[in-house]
Chains A and B, each alone.
Chain A
């Protein structure tokens, strides 16, 4: 990409400042810190104990976008970690080995606790066992069962609530020295729901033509506060209020989606994307879409920290612990493949997309195992063509720009052909694009 000035909206700048403040809090030594994960994170509960929320996945992403993750991963591999495993884990372990410096340039303090709330990813369990070796701090586990039949069962909910009451909350009380106050939790959940309403409103604006936003590359920014350390805060409410105003303004002006280099001049292709983005070449990756006039109108990645639009979930202050259980159970990768197929197929239809692109991530089996079957099913259900590319999360060795670009160009040509023919392109042809 050119060295042109990156275009940033006010909401992006505000979000950047929010993230910086959180890193300053984490590294300040002035409060207790818990490390935990994005999908199914219990931010509101941590706030009840004044515990700062550190998210190793986000650290890995930050380091990848700063081109630092490659060295960290190789450092972890030199210390005995396999080439085959999750690169988020290795980026985190490599970061520790290289001085454990936070993105704000200050050293991370050792966490006071590891909150192993793993939802939708088995690897998380091993990740925190590995971190526990290093930090030797209390590790509290919240086991979230997999919603394998599409819907959480009462048994699953009860199990999570019981763990919260018997394991998670007592550990947080002990670590923080603060007694749990359920009314405080209710208040945070009320604020969560308020921000979540605007998040869903935002996601649904890409049904418009042209779409005023990009729900994958742009979506990464839009979902940041609610999926990380800000859900349940006034700051998140203010952020999403501002974002809403910005998008309303874009709609009023008839603008296409914003990219890093400014507004897209013309919307040529509307895509639904499954799978996380590549972070090491995020800008280059996005540019491939922007230059082709391709906007992502819906993505599964914007549901990885919670699904709010599919079945209307909102955090519920009247049923606080049950609501946290439902939230954990309902994150995207904790839903079975038929549900994921239904969700994406609905997106394709409701957002009037041209097709489905799957970015299959080398080191994330939680997302990736089964995506080719999903592709076939979605093509069958919608009659719209799909395409499949492979990259990695934070390992630069697995991003082949030429290969990805070639496949994308072929895919866009296929969509053009389909438009000219006015018919359906068969699944196999599409899958080989």
Chain B
């Protein structure tokens, strides 16, 4: 293992984050003939199958705050979130020209319809809308999902020109198991020592995982924890908050920094759920598609894009995280016009209110520029927790 400093590691991740031409992914593809890249939108796709096809799963999380959207607005009506505009901007300006296919998960109506836009506009590309079951019984939703996974596998076989064996799939599952384990270790580390692993750094580290192959990302996370541990950083008198609602369109990086500057340590969040969607390891022996299906049905994360069949369980995941992370409060942070997050929010609020957990709500767009009002709001929130919660 190398001995890069936290500064160097963060600079490395920042460069990947800033690079809207996805140079690292282009280089990976060009390094060997026959390699392919499959882009995917938030929230969840089974990256293991893409990996087993010898392809790179490339997370496309919008254009961020620095991308000037010139063309994207011509494709979307006024009242809509920003992520489809900036993603389309990336595509029409040629920044995704090296991507062999795009996957659109069943996150919301906007992302769903975007799969059709891709079909209309980029006719030479592989396009897959990836539906996941909202029924979580093995013999009902499980059968459907296994068949969907099989169709995806066959589609990737067609474009990669190679068969995907069970052995390759199980190997890829093992690689993602390890990657996920390290993602969780980083999250656990941040929760234990939030002053040593600031959220903006952890965020950049996870964003790098959207572009790098999982093996490389795993090494990067190992390196980061070792480097962060070696740094001597002062602990601030911040309160501990869970951030929820930003699972699709991502907030601008200054927003994450602002929250911590204002006095809130983010000890958990739901950015980039894909890299910790499955909780625990997926079995690496037996039928890999069945194992992926079972993991999704029974051990996957919760988000507003998923149906909760049991009203009594609704919101339990959030309360569990608050307890597990010893959080003092919750920041409900959703992108403007995000139907799933904003419709879910009142239900989640009722759960945290019932427990007397402090919370605030804020909305953002990926290109929000004014951080002062957010800093004031979250700073007041942090102060109120410190003053009134006996923290």
Tell me if A405 counts as interface (CB < 8 A to partner B). Answer: no
Contact with B along A155-173 (1 / 0, CB 8 A): 1101100110011000000
Q: Which residue of A lies closest to B134 (CB)?
A: A143
Q: A123-B343, A162-B143, A167-B135 are in contact. Are A337 and B113 (CB under 8 A)?
A: yes
Is the beta-carbon distance between A337 and B120 smaller than 8 angstroms? yes
Which of B76, B128, B304 touches A369 (beta carbons < 8 Å)?
B76
Task: Tell me if B131 and A82 are in contact (CB < 8 A).
Answer: no
Query: Given A82-B342, A84-B336, A336-B115: A129 and B314 within 8 A (CB)?
Result: yes
| A424 close to B (CB within 8 Å) | no
Contacts of B350 in A (CB 8 A): 133
Which residues from B are CB-within-8-Å of A129? 307-308, 311, 314, 343-344, 347
**Contact: A141 with B309, CB < 8 Å?**
yes
**Contact flags (1/0) for A58-95 with B, using CB distance below 8 Å?**
00000000000000000000011110111001000000
Q: Are B116 and A338 in touch, CB under 8 angstroms?
A: yes
Please indicate the chain A residues that have their CB under 8 angstroms from the CB of B117 in the complex: 337, 370, 373
Q: Are A166 and B137 in contact (CB under 8 A)?
A: yes
Say yes or no: B80 contacts A336, CB within 8 Å.
no
- A82 / chain B contacts, CB cutoff of 8 Å: 334, 342-343, 345, 363
Whether A365 contacts B113 in the complex (CB less than 8 A), given A129-B308, A336-B119, A372-B76, comes out as: yes
B11 in the interface (beta carbon within 8 A): no
A104 at interface, CB cutoff 8 A: no
The residue from B74, B308, B340 contacting A122, defined by CB atoms under 8 A apart: B340
Asked if A148 is an interface residue, CB under 8 A from chain B, the answer is yes
Collect the chain B residues with CB atoms within 8 Å of residue A273's CB.
Answer: none
With beta carbons under 8 angstroms apart, the residue of B77, B120, B133, B305 that contacts A338 is: B120
Residues of A321-365 at the interface with B, using a CB-CB cut-off of 8 Å, are: 336-338, 340-341, 360, 362-363, 365
In whole angstroms, how far apart are the Cα atoms of A116 and B135 in the complex? Answer: 12
Q: How far is A155 from B143 in the complex, measured between Cα atoms in Å?
A: 9
User: Chain B 323-361 against A: per-residue CB contact (8 Å), 1 yes, 0 no?
Assistant: 000000000001011111011111101100000000000
A368 to chain B, nearest CB (A): 5
User: With A and B bound together, what is the CA distance between A82 and B349 in angstroms?
Assistant: 13
Are A130's CB and B144's CB within 8 A?
no
| Residue contact A85 to B113, C-beta cutoff 8 Å | no
Q: Is A126 a contact partner of B304 (Cβ separation < 8 A)?
A: yes
User: What total of A-B pairs shows CB separation below 8 Å?
Assistant: 171
Does A125 belong to the interface (CB within 8 Å)?
A: yes
In whole Å, how far is A278's beta carbon from the nearest beta carbon of chain B? Answer: 14
A365 and B339 form a contact (CB under 8 A): yes
Check if B27 is an interface residue, CB within 8 A of chain A.
no
- The 8 Å CB contact of B112, one of A126, A148, A390, is A148
Closest-by-CB residue of A relative to B84 is: A369
Smallest distance from the beta carbon of A345 to chain B beta carbons, Å?
12
Residues of A within 8 A of B343 (CB): 81-82, 85-86, 89, 123, 126-127, 129-130
Most buried by A among B116, B148, B337: B116
A155 touching B148, Cβ below 8 Å: yes
Known: A122-B109, A130-B346. A373 touches B120 (CB 8 A): yes
Q: A155-B144, A166-B137 are in contact. Are A362 and B106 (CB under 8 A)?
A: no
Tell me which residues across on chain B come within 8 A of A372, comparing CB atoms.
74-77
CB-defined contacts of B319 to chain A, threshold 8 Å: none
B residues within 8 A CB of A368?
77, 80
Kindly list chain B residues whose C-beta atoms are within 8 Å of the C-beta of A89: 343
A369 to B304, CA, bound (A): 19
Instruction: Judge whether B215 is part of the interface by a CB distance below 8 angstroms.
Output: no
Cα distance, A366 to B113, chains bound together (Å): 7
Indicate whether B140 reaches chain A with its CB closer than 8 angstroms.
yes
Asked whether, in the complex, the Cβ of A148 is within 8 Å of the Cβ of B308, the reply is no
| B141 contacts the other chain (CB 8 A) | yes
A195 to B389, CA, bound (A): 64
Distance of B191 from chain A, by nearest CB (Å) = 28
A148 touches B129 (CB 8 A): yes
Chain B residues with Cβ below 8 Å from A261 are none
A363–B340 alpha-carbon span in the complex (Å): 13
Let me know if A370 and B114 touch, CB within 8 A.
yes
Q: Are B120 and A341 in contact (CB under 8 A)?
A: yes
Given contacts A80-B345, A84-B336, A141-B309, contact A365 B109 (CB under 8 A): yes
A145 lies within 8 A of B131 (CB) = yes
| Nearest CB in chain A: distance from B227 CB, A | 41
Q: Is A227 positioned at the interface, with any CB of B under 8 Å from its CB?
A: no
Query: Any chain A CB within 8 A of the CB of B388?
Result: no
Report Cα–Cα, A146/B309, bound state, in Å: 20
Residue of B121, B336, B343 contacting most chain A CB atoms (<10 Å): B343
- A159-B143, A372-B76 in contact; A143/B109 too (CB < 8 A)? no
Complex interface: chain A residues within 8 A of B304 (CB)? 126
Given A148-B115, A158-B144, A369-B76, residue A126 in contact with residue B340 (CB < 8 A): yes
B181 within 8 A of A: no
Q: Does A25 contact B (CB under 8 A)?
A: no
A136 interface residue (CB < 8 Å to B): yes
- Complex contact A85–B116 (CB within 8 A): no
Contact across chains for B307 and A133 when beta carbons are under 8 A apart: no
Asked if residues B311 and A136 are in contact (CB atoms below 8 Å), the reply is yes
B140 contacts A166, C-beta separation under 8 Å: yes
Query: How does the 8 Å CB contact mask read for B363-378 relative to A, with 1 for contact and 0 for none?
Result: 1000000000000000
Q: In the complex, how many angstroms separate the beta carbon of B168 from the nearest chain A beta carbon?
A: 23
Indicate whether A121 reaches chain B with its CB closer than 8 angstroms: yes
Residues in B whose Cβ lies below 8 Å from that of A365:
80, 108-110, 113, 339
Q: A340 to chain B: which residues have CB within 8 Å? A: 116
Residues of B with C-beta under 8 A to A263: none
Q: Is the CB of A167 within 8 A of B140?
A: yes
Set of chain A residues within 8 Å of B346, measured between Cβ atoms: 79-81, 130
- What 4 pairs across the A-B complex have the smallest Cβ distances? A337-B116, A148-B129, A126-B343, A159-B144
Supply 8 further A-B pairs (C-beta < 8 A) apart from A153-B151, A338-B119, A369-B77.
Answer: A85-B339, A122-B340, A143-B133, A146-B129, A158-B143, A337-B115, A365-B110, A369-B110
18 contacts between A and B (CB under 8 A): A84-B79, A85-B339, A85-B343, A122-B107, A130-B343, A141-B135, A143-B134, A146-B129, A148-B104, A162-B144, A167-B140, A337-B116, A341-B120, A362-B77, A363-B79, A368-B80, A372-B77, A390-B77
